[in-house]
Structure 1
């Protein structure tokens, strides 16, 4: 097989194929049921199959000679680290610091990944997203999560 001309399409297709097959395999263990009486794994199984088929299509399309060659660019490790670190902090802070503070920290830390980082804009975004999250998830949906740190009440 010739090397794919579209490295981006090939890489994304491989990722979709692996994620789709993996999620379909996990969902299969939940029991599929029938279309008339769906089990817990029915929807995730077929969603995984669909994602895998999309990935297979992208892999096949990557070898097309009708499109110009395109290579993958190197990963931007520093922004990736900021975003993953922000997600980790959110997960650690949510149970003890509450949704408002954890959301604000998530936005402020992940904003550092941008080359156009600005404290004023980040603080405004953090306030808006914290308010929105509190209104939607706690007030609107009634999810049982603390809004504020446990020592505040």
Structure 2
């Protein structure tokens, strides 16, 4: 039902507006989100917008893509950051409740940026997951940026 509702909506709804000049015409992001027809169990209803020009796609194709919209990959990466990087750890409440303890947090923005860059690169080029067809691949392989799984040493020593 949600797919058919979206397909009907995209007969008229546009994520972009067309700008015409004497020499050419081009599409500009209209900042025109829609409410996703299926609520998520943890977030409820949320808005979906598209910044990429999809004017060449038909309503059926756009509806299929919107049905697959979620932020699971982003949430997974943020959870890995929170679990793996102690320098970004939140302060703990003391046992007496009189203040905060930063016992495990030695936050330095410069080093935090370095560590996040290494973790992001590791996540995209070294850590595999099982794809829909059953293969163990990295996000970089799925996007066609890489053709192999890299080792952490390859990333750190730029091989």
- Greater RCO, CA 8 A, separation 6+: 1
TM-score relative to the length of structure 1? 0.30
Higher strand share: 2
